[in-house]
Amino acid sequence: MKLIVGLGNPGAQYARHRHNVGFMVLDRLHGRGMGSEWREKYVGLAARAVIAGREVTLLKPQTFMNLSGRSVVRAIQQMGAGIKDVLVLHDELELPFGEIRPKVGGGHGGHNGLRDITATAGADFARVRVGIGRPAQGAVDAYVLAGFSKDEAPLLDAMLDRAADLAEKMVGEGPDAVVAKATAPKKPAGRNR
C-alpha cells in the first residue's frame, strides 16, 4: 500500500457530514502516523505518514466527491504507483451505521467518489467501507450531506477509531489477507469431549 485516500468534500461546511467520513478516518491515521504537514499536491491535500511500519502518502482529494478520480490518478501517476497500491476510505450507505468492512475491487454501488475513481483509474483498489446507514425516508443526497444524528454523534469517535484500526491492518497485513479473514466462515463453537 502506497497511497491511502480519504473521500469527502472540501470546505468547513462539509467537515462533519456523513459523506466526509473518509476524511475523518484519514485524519485519525494522520495523527497516529505522525503525519507530515498537509500540502497542496495531486489536486488535493497530501501528507506523508508511517502506518503499520510502512511509509505511505495520505490524500484528501479537493475536487469534490464526484471528481475524486482526478486526484487519485494524478497521485498514482506521479508516484509511479498502480491502482492496486491504493486504499480508499469511504462512507457506505449499504452498511448500518457503525459497521466497518474491508473490500478489494468491485463496483461503486452508486457512490459518486468510487464511481469516478473506478472510471478514471480502475476498480482494483482496496477499501475500508464505513457504514453510515440508509435514510428511513427522504433523499439520499440530503442524508449524506448532513451531520450525524444525536444518537450517532456519541458513537462517532469509536467508529472512526475502528475504521482507522482496519486501515492499519490492511496496510500491515495486506488487503487480500484482511478481506479473506473477514469473509471466512465462522467455525461453530464445539464442545470438547
Residue 45 contacts residue 62 (beta carbons within 8 Å): yes
Can you give the pLDDT at residue 192? 56
Collect all residues with Cβ–Cβ distance below 8 Å to 122 and sequence separation of at least 6: 83
Asked whether the predicted pLDDT for residue 49 surpasses 70, the reply is yes
Asked whether the predicted pLDDT for residue 193 surpasses 60, the reply is no
Can you give the pLDDT at residue 165? 97
Task: Write out pLDDT tens, residues 3-25.
Answer: 999 999 999 999 999 999 999 99
Asked whether the predicted pLDDT for residue 191 surpasses 70, the reply is no
pLDDT tier at 189, thresholds 50, 70, 90:
low
pLDDT tier at 186, thresholds 50, 70, 90:
confident
**Catalytic site residue 19?**
yes
Can you give the pLDDT at residue 89? 98
Catalytic residue among 19, 30, 90, 111: 19
Give me the chain's average pLDDT, please.
Answer: 94
Can you give the pLDDT at residue 82? 96
Can you give the pLDDT at residue 185? 85
